[in-house]
Amino acid sequence: MKRVAIVGSSGGNLYNLGGKDPEKLLQEIINQTKAGNIQIAWIQFVAAQGSMDMAGKDTLSTVYAWDETESKIVTRFHGSLKECNDYVQELDEALSADIEQGLVDGLITMSADPDGANHRAITTAVNKQIPIVGTGGTSMALISAKGAKVVLTSGTTGTTNRTRAISFMTALCKHWGISYRPMIGDSKESSGISASPWKRINIRGIMMSSLPGFIALALVLALSKIPGLDMLGSVFDVLIKALPVVIAAIAAKQVSDMEEVSVVAGVLAGVLSMDGGIIGGMIGGIGAGLLVNVLFRKCIEWRFPTTTVNIIAGGISGLVAGLLVFYLLAPIALQAGEWVKVLIEGAVSFSPILAGLMAGLLIWPAIIGGVYHAAILPIVLLEMEKTGNSFLGAVDMVGLVMVSAGITLANIVSPRDKSEATVATPGFLINMGFGTFVEAAYPFMFSNKLVFSGAIISSGIAGMMVGVFDVRGTAYVPSVMAPLLSNNMLGFMIAMATGLVCAFLFTFIANRMAKKRGKESLEKISA
């Protein structure tokens, strides 16, 4: 197993691009070494409380090192920058000895000081001709001038913790002939092998993450109806055009997870995909995310500087994916979204009461079966894309949120057991206060068939009321605010109250029946 040492400092430009949080910067490199099955032998890193471009000898600084026994980053010394540099020179001598003895196979440098604090280690690395990778224009130029075996060099501009770390590992692993796939995600939970970008495409996750943008749209729509705030109508129009950009940025980030690089690619793709609506934005964002990974790896293999790699991966990926949607896929994507909306509107036009009833009856089985977030939520967002609210969004609020609130409220007022009131209270407050957490009703629904049936029936009745009043609305907002975001405030309030009251009555009766049966059983046992 190859062993590497990390040396350097929080740097000047690097300070603003990750060096300000040295533990996070170093941890990202450690994550990527795990993915390449490479060991950390040393860390010798000076982190100043300010950019080295402005720091003086009295600037407070910290020396970070590596505890190989505990396999973790540790702080070895605190003091002025001069004191830290003097302390590092002692560590540098020990690191130099390890390199001389062949205990270190490669060097990762970031804004290192080859003529000062890191002089001995770098000189020995040059003499032993072990591979060196690093960033920092000035320091890497000095290291190269000493005759070092540099396999990757770059400035810091445009880089991130992740892209730097992946660049380092890609170059070293290619030099050593080691198979390496970058680690993506939470290092504390990851095994060190990342999933293929194709496997990270998750429509449900993209839609859920984009939801705040749609809620903001609904809020602006509601405010624009208040006398004196008519000017917000133009803000609403701008936000509608921005939704594909939001979707694209999130899609690119989730698919590639290359931090700011993927976000930039997603935003570029989204801007060019706006004519395709949110489906076009999603296609553009997913395409950008996939291309970021491909171009990033290829550019590293071609030994481009890391700054250039980031520019190409972020800029070209976004442009290519966005232009593909702009010239070819936008009309198709827009039409697909229109078909979905036409289908919903057609069903509502045919019989709004029947449409509301069927949606209400099916929405609980859909969320329990895992279909809601994969199928219904995207349709809700497609509806909201044009009008800021949704027929199915209204059914969501009255059939799920309000029914769940009714079930939990009944278990607060008349629980089968006192402990159930404690369980029900947070669920009721969250549903009423935030318009989410319908799962709070699950324990009561799954433990009593009458409550379960009552939930579905109540949802159907409430959905029918949505149809009666031809309501368009949304969930995921406080219950007191939801009617303000609808097209029919009074109708939505009646439909919401219907869902809550029906569910409350069904659950209240079910709990009373259950308590009565329990008393009768106890009487029989005692008799």
β-bridge partners, 154:
135
pTM passes above 0.95: no
- In this prediction, residues 392-410 reach a mean pLDDT of 93
pLDDT band of residue 46 (cuts 50, 70, 90) is very high
Torsions phi, psi of 38, nearest 5?
-115, 140
Q: How confident is the model at residue 195, as a pLDDT?
A: 54
CATH number, residue 29: 3.40.50
Q: In the prediction, which pLDDT does 506 show?
A: 95
Residues 371, 229, single domain; the answer is no
Question: Can you give 382-408 as a three-state secondary structure string?
Answer: HHHHHHCCEHHHHHHHHHHHHHHHHHH
Tell me, yes or no, whether 196 lies in a domain: no
Same domain, 308 and 239: yes
User: 39 in a domain, yes or no?
Assistant: yes
Same-domain pairing of 332 and 356: no
Count of structural domains within the chain: 3
Q: Which of these three, 297, 313, 337, is where a domain ends?
A: 337
- pLDDT 10s digits, 484-499: 888 899 999 999 999 9
Which residue, among 515, 510, 512, 505, has the nearest Cα to 403 in the 3D structure? 505
Q: Is residue 249 part of a domain?
A: yes
Q: What is the pLDDT of residue 100?
A: 94
Integer Cα distance of 11 and 157 in angstroms:
12
Which tokens hold the place of 141?
A: 């130029």
* Shared domain check, 368 and 316: no
Other Cβ atoms less than 10 A from the Cβ of 87: the count is 18
DSSP secondary structure code for residue 473 in this structure: B
Same domain, 164 and 299: no
φ and ψ of 76, to 5 deg:
-100, -25
The answer to whether residue 332 is domain-embedded is yes
98, 42 Cβ separation under 8 angstroms: yes
Write phi, then psi, for 44 (nearest 5 degrees).
-140, 85
Whether pLDDT at 337 is above 70: no
From 287, 308, 337, give the residue that closes a domain.
Answer: 337
Q: Does 67 share its domain with 94? A: yes
pLDDT digits (tens, 9 = 90+) for 350-393: 888 999 999 899 899 888 877 776 667 777 877 777 677 889 88
Q: Report the helix count and the strand count for the chain, using DSSP H and E.
A: 20, 7
Assigned domain for 189 exists:
no
Percentage of the chain beyond pLDDT 90 is 44
Pair 225, 321 in one domain: yes
CA distance linking residue 144 with residue 251, whole number of Å: 40
> What is the structure's pLDDT at 520?
67
- The boundaries of the domain holding residue 438 are 351-526
Q: How far apart are CA 216 and CA 208, in angstroms?
A: 14
Residue 397 and residue 404 in contact, taking contact as beta carbons nearer than 8 Å: no
CA distance 255 to 202: 8
195 lies in a domain?
Answer: no
- Tell me if 75 sits within 8 A of 50, measured CB to CB: no
Inside any domain, residue 197: no
Q: How far apart are CA 307 and CA 495, in angstroms?
A: 56
Residue 502 has pLDDT above 60, yes or no: yes
**Domain shared by 326 and 363, yes or no:** no
- Where does the pLDDT of residue 340 fall: very low under 50, low under 70, confident under 90, or very high at 90 and above? low
Q: 358 versus 257: which is more confidently predicted?
A: 358
Q: Specify whether 228 is located in the same domain as 164.
A: no
Coil, helix or strand for 462?
helix
CB-based contact 19:45 (threshold 8 Å): no
- Residues 215 and 286 grouped into a single domain: yes
| 199 assigned to some structural domain | no
Average pLDDT, the chain: 86
| Least confident piece of the model among 124-128, 443-447, 474-478 | 474-478
From 176, 195, 230, give the residue that closes a domain.
Answer: 176
Query: Do residues 27 and 169 share a domain?
Result: yes
Task: Label residue 190 by pLDDT band (50, 70, 90).
Answer: very low
Paired with 150 in beta bridges are 132
**Are 375 and 402 within one domain?**
yes
